[in-house]
Amino acid sequence: MNSHTPSAMDIIGSSPLIAIENEAPPKLIVDPPLLEPLAQGRVFIQYRTENLRVLPVFGKGALEVSPRIGHIHITVDNAPWHFVDSSGETIILVGLEPGVHKVLIELADPTHKVITSETVEFTLPDPKKSS
C-alpha cells in the first residue's frame, strides 16, 4: 500500500518568499452567506483567492511584488460607494433590512484596479415572521 502525505507545497503552493515567473491569473472564489448567521439577521460571506495574496499594501510600487498582492472592494445593493477590505477574513455585514440583497465582491490590485469579481445574492429573513 502506497500512502503519500501531501507536502506543504502540495497544500499551500509555492513559497511567498520566491518570485514567481509567469504567474497564473488571480481567481476569486466566493461562497454563499453562512445559513446560521443569516437566519439571525447577520451576513457572513467567506471567500478565498488563488494566485493573489490579500494584504494591506497599496500604491503603484506594489504592482511589482511577486507573488501578486491585492485587496477586495465590497458594494452592497448597488450603492454608489464601496468599502475596501485587506484582511482576507470573512466579510460580515450587519444592519441590513429583511429582504433580497446583492453584494458585489471585487478583487483589486494595489492601485484599486478591479481584476475580477463575484456577486452574491441572498434573502435576509424577517425575524418577526420566524417566530
Q: 72-116: per-residue pLDDT in tens?
A: 999 999 999 999 999 999 999 999 999 999 999 999 999 999 999
SS3 61: helix
Rounded Cα distance between 36 and 13, Å, is 32
> Minimum mean pLDDT among 20-24, 90-94, 127-131: which range?
127-131
Please report, for residues 9, 53, 67, the alpha-carbon distance to residue 46 in angstroms, rounded to integers and kept in the order given: 23, 15, 22
Mean confidence (pLDDT) of the chain:
90
Q: What's the residue count for the chain? A: 131
Q: What is the pLDDT of residues 78-89, one digit of tens each?
A: 999 999 999 999
pLDDT at 47 over 80: yes
pTM metric for this prediction: 0.82
**Domain range summary for the chain, segments of one domain joined by +:** 25-129
- Topology of domain 25-129 in CATH is Immunoglobulin-like (2.60.40)
Helix or strand (DSSP H, E) at 118: strand 114-124
Grid coordinates given for 28: 476569486
b/e sequence 18-44, b meaning 16+ C-beta within 10 Å: eeeeeeeebebebeebeeebbeebbbb
pLDDT bucket at 17, cuts 50 / 70 / 90: low
pLDDT at 1 over 60: no
